[in-house]
Amino acid sequence: MSSTEQIKNGKTVIGIEFGSTRIKAVLIGEDSTPLAAGIYGWQNELADGVWTYSLDSVRAGLQDCFADLMKNVEENYGVKLEKAAGIGISAMMHGYLAFDRNDHQLVPFRTWRNTMTEEAADRLTEAFGFNIPQRWSVAHLYQAVLNNEPHIGRLDFITTLAGYVHYLLTGEKVLGAGDASGVFPIDQDTCGYDKKMLEVFDELAAGTELRKSITELLPGIVPAGECAGRLTEEGARLLDPTGTFKSGVPFCPPEGDAQTGMVATNSITPKTGNVSAGTSIFSMIVLEEKLSSVHREIDIVNTPCGAPVAMVHCNSCTSDLDAWFGLFGELLKEAGADMPKGRLYDMLYALAAEGDPDCGGIISYNYYAGEPVTGIKEGRPLLMRSPDSPFNIRNLARSLVYSCVASLKAGMDILTEQEHVKLERIYAHGGFFKTPVPSQNVLAAALGADVTLMKTAGEGGAWGMALLASYMVNRDSGMSLEDFLSQRVFADMKGSTAAPDKETAEGINAYMKKYLSGLSAVRAAASEEKKG
């Protein structure tokens, strides 16, 4: 069946992902090949000290992104997109979306980027015997309880961004196992919330203004491959106000961007992993067995199937690099040499590849937000060098690239050196790798493992979400997600692999020594600014 016939007959599947800087929808055919896409750009805002997105922008972005998808389908295939075999919603994990029983939002959306829950995260980690990072939904909830925030007494339901959009479109308050694992710890044997920890939380919250048990507040969990609701009439009007796209389409469980990245790179089996790098950077390593200790730098989350995953999540990645590269572009424009962004980035990455392996001692801190992995409470981008450092464009550009992976390496070294976790293959995806050299090579040297970029790496999480929806629609009875991906999607797919280079590895290790020793200066910069 041709692509046009698949679209016309509703045989295609749609994945929609709310990323930090864009919302993307991908339409795939029966062979999992992307047929069309829609994109909408957006940005978080810092309002009253809180990183947030308004729910109006969520709805508007959803509509504009889907309208762009429908437009591209009609332009490229000559038919209107009226139906689909399945849809899946994905978004940035964690954060805090809180509603009362009438679905009124109680406080602005507190995203993963906020580092305002240190006290709650510390208390929960001690009480659970399980690492609870600051960005997790339960940390935000408990911090609101500790702060005795007025909305707590009216709280009826909390969810993630993916869960919220899924609820708007289907009326179902549910999550997939992976996204749920960033809300509250999961019992990998049952793929449900950990019952003992639920009880502990209720004990901690006893006597406060929180009226409901934690169990009543959390979304339900739907296993991968099962239907998690259908597009309602109201949801269809929200998705497509023109009325062209029809209701009734089945939805797979909504998932987090970490999980869609795993699916998009076929890294959901033990000893495999992936690194997603864009505004933030995180690694996901599927574990063979539990870690021996609780590490505050490492999250334990889950694959869409519920398998345990060690996650090192860093809040800042490319924002500072983008700012510097934009500054260089502005200078060129003022000099009469305006350069397209793609060409500018290619040139600067090429210069970075020629820099000294240790960047000549130039150290860049890319902290636009606080970074729990390295103990930084507030964002303070900072550039540091010795008077005798060879300060040239090549070393500066290379240092900016190194800074994108430095915090990740600090966390990953705990996994590989202290916990002796084995890495067989790492797949990389995200905007950081649009120009593979030197970013792919730098990551391979930093992790001490081969790093592969698949040809689909640019499709990102929206494609991974579409694959999860396709699994719901097209799997054989009893077929696991691992088998579906290996046999139906990635069987003949190839990628480019970079092995660790000894000189680069030695250089980034030397860089890291200075980077870690200089963190006190970043802390001092934040502290002094507060005093001022």
Query: What's the rounded mean pLDDT across residues 465-480?
Result: 94
Of the chain, the percentage scoring pLDDT greater than 70 comes to 98
pLDDT of residue 492: 81
pLDDT in tens, 159-180: 999 999 999 999 999 999 999 9
How far lies 451's CA from each of 33, 209, 447, 495, in Å?
23, 49, 9, 10
Q: Is 257 helix (H, G, I), strand (E, B) or coil?
A: helix
Which DSSP category does 29 fall into? -
pLDDT of residue 270: 85
Question: Between 393-413 and 502-517, two packed helices, what is the crossing angle to 10 degrees?
Answer: 80
pLDDT in tens, 265-324: 888 988 889 898 888 898 999 998 889 999 999 999 999 998 999 999 898 999 999 999
Query: What's the rounded mean pLDDT across residues 194-215?
Result: 97
Beta bridge partners of 89: 16
pTM, to two decimals: 0.84
Q: Give the fold, CATH level 3, of 257-316+411-498.
A: Nucleotidyltransferase; domain 5 (3.30.420)
Say yes or no to pLDDT of 252 above 70: yes
The CA R_g of the chain, rounded to the nearest whole Å, is 23
**What number of CA atoms fall less than 13 Å from residue 344's CA on the CB side?**
18
Beta bridge partners of 28: 13, 34
Alpha-carbon span 478 to 303, nearest angstrom: 18
Provide the pairing of β-strand 281-286 with 308-314: antiparallel
Alpha-carbon span 472 to 58, nearest angstrom: 26
pLDDT in tens, 329-358: 999 999 999 999 999 999 999 999 999 999
pLDDT in tens, 487-516: 999 888 778 999 999 999 999 999 999 999
Say yes or no to pLDDT of 529 above 60: no
5: which residues sit within 8 A by CB, 6+ positions away? 11
pLDDT of residue 459: 63
Query: What's the rounded mean pLDDT across residues 359-372?
Result: 94
435 pLDDT tier (thresholds 50, 70, 90): confident
222 pLDDT tier (thresholds 50, 70, 90): very high
What is the identity of the amino acid at 282?
Answer: F
Say yes or no to pLDDT of 466 above 90: yes
Which stretch of DSSP H or E encloses residue 461?
Answer: helix 460-474
Alpha-carbon span 437 to 184, nearest angstrom: 38
Closest CA to 344 of 333, 334, 335, 355: 333
> In degrees rounded to 5, what are phi and psi of residue 317?
-135, -85
pLDDT in tens, 391-404: 999 999 999 999 99
Beta bridge partners of 15: 26, 88
Where along the chain do its domains lie?
257-316+411-498, 319-409+502-531
pLDDT of residue 423: 87
Classify burial at 338, counting beta carbons within 10 Å of its beta carbon; exposed 0-12, middle 13-18, buried 19 or more.
exposed
Alpha-carbon span 107 to 310, nearest angstrom: 31
Contact 78, 4 (CB under 8 A): yes
pLDDT in tens, 102-147: 999 999 999 998 989 999 999 999 999 999 999 999 999 999 999 9
237: which residues sit within 8 A by CB, 6+ positions away? 243
Closest CA to 178 of 299, 9, 350, 292: 299
Beta bridge partners of 512: none
Contact 412, 418 (CB under 8 A): no
Higher pLDDT: 45 or 434? It is 45
Q: Which two tokens stand for residue 439?
A: 């970013």
Contact 130, 197 (CB under 8 A): yes
Which residue's structure tokens are 């190839």?
494
